[in-house]
Amino acid sequence: MKECLYCKIKVGGNPEKCPLCQNALTGEGEMDHWPKIYPDTRRRKAFKIVTFCVIAACILSVAMDYLFLKFEHLNFSPVVVAWLLVTGWLLEVVLKRHYNILQTLFVSMITISFLCQVTEIFIHFAWDVPNLWITPNYIIPSVCAVCMVAGIVLSLVDKRLTEHSMIYTFLNFLVGVIPWIVIMIVNSKAPLPWSICMVVNVLILVAFIVFRGKKVLAELKKRFHTE
Ligand SMILES: [Zn+2]
């Protein structure tokens, strides 16, 4: 067992330095108590490349918009920069595995929907294009339906996902169904994409309940702290 001459303690395993004072340990080491963790250099490198590419693309788009063009500025760079930053951020979320897959899907869905809406409003005001409300009418229901489908496919591939992140499927379901209910109450007729999205969400939630009933119940209990 190794020993620290300064702290007068014995240290198990085979560390180089004393955990208390960081001085070198003396004595014979023994088998490591836990496996050595090596930093994932490949992922770190990918992370650095993504960061650089995003920043470089931001600089280039601003330069093209304001420095290189001789004619009137188009003011497109704020939108491009926003999209680049968000895309870079999402890539980093995936690379660093901050969230599990269902969580990443949900976060991506919300972020992309939000960004689409911001872009639409920006285009409307900056270039005087009539606002067509493409995001709320078409993009959000489509993205929501696609995420719900991706969610169940992923859960079938990896069963652990259902256990730990069903909550994101529920949230996805709420995003897919609540707007439809609100539109029906206000307008009594919902646009087709929202109706399709609602049906897809309901079908997949039913599939989850039928095929993963116990896990769904367990997740609900866990989330509402009844267990
Ligand atoms: Zn020490």
pLDDT-based confidence at 26, cuts 50/70/90? very high
Rounded to the nearest angstrom, the distance between the alpha carbon of 8 and the centre of ligand 1 is: 7
> Which band of pLDDT confidence, cut at 50, 70 and 90, is reported for residue 69?
low
Three-state DSSP class for 194? Answer: helix
Residue 161 has pLDDT above 80, yes or no: no
Compute, in angstroms, the gap from residue 91 CA to the centroid of ligand 1.
42
Q: Which helix (H) or strand (E) holds 4?
A: strand 2-4
pLDDT at 70 over 70: no
If you measure from the C-alpha of residue 28 to the centroid of ligand 1, how many angstroms do you get, rounded to a whole number? 16
Question: H helices within the chain, ranges in order?
Answer: 41-63, 77-96, 101-126, 134, 140-157, 159-187, 192-223
Per domain, the residue ranges of the chain are 1-37, 39-98, 110-227
Model pTM? 0.70
In whole numbers, what is the pLDDT of the chain averaged over residues? 85
Ligand 1 center to 22 CA (angstroms): 6
CA–centroid distance, 26 to ligand 1, in Å, is 10
pLDDT of 163 > 70? The answer is no
Per-residue pLDDT reduced to its tens digit, 77-131: 888 899 999 998 888 888 777 777 888 888 889 999 999 999 998 888 888 888 8
Phi then psi dihedrals of residue 115, to 5 deg = -65, -40
- How open is the CA angle 88-93-157, to the nearest 5 degrees? 125
138 and 146 Cβ atoms separated by less than 8 Å: no
Q: CB of 208 within 8 A of CB of 162?
A: yes
Task: Specify whether the CB–CB gap between 104 and 94 falls below 8 A.
Answer: yes
Q: CA angle 130-134-135, nearest 5°? A: 125
Q: Using alpha carbons, list the distances in angstroms from residue 23 to 4, 15, 32.
A: 7, 11, 19
Distance, in Å, from the CA atom of 149 to the CA atom of 172, rounded to the nearest integer, reads: 10
C-alpha of residue 7 to centroid of ligand 1, in Å? 4
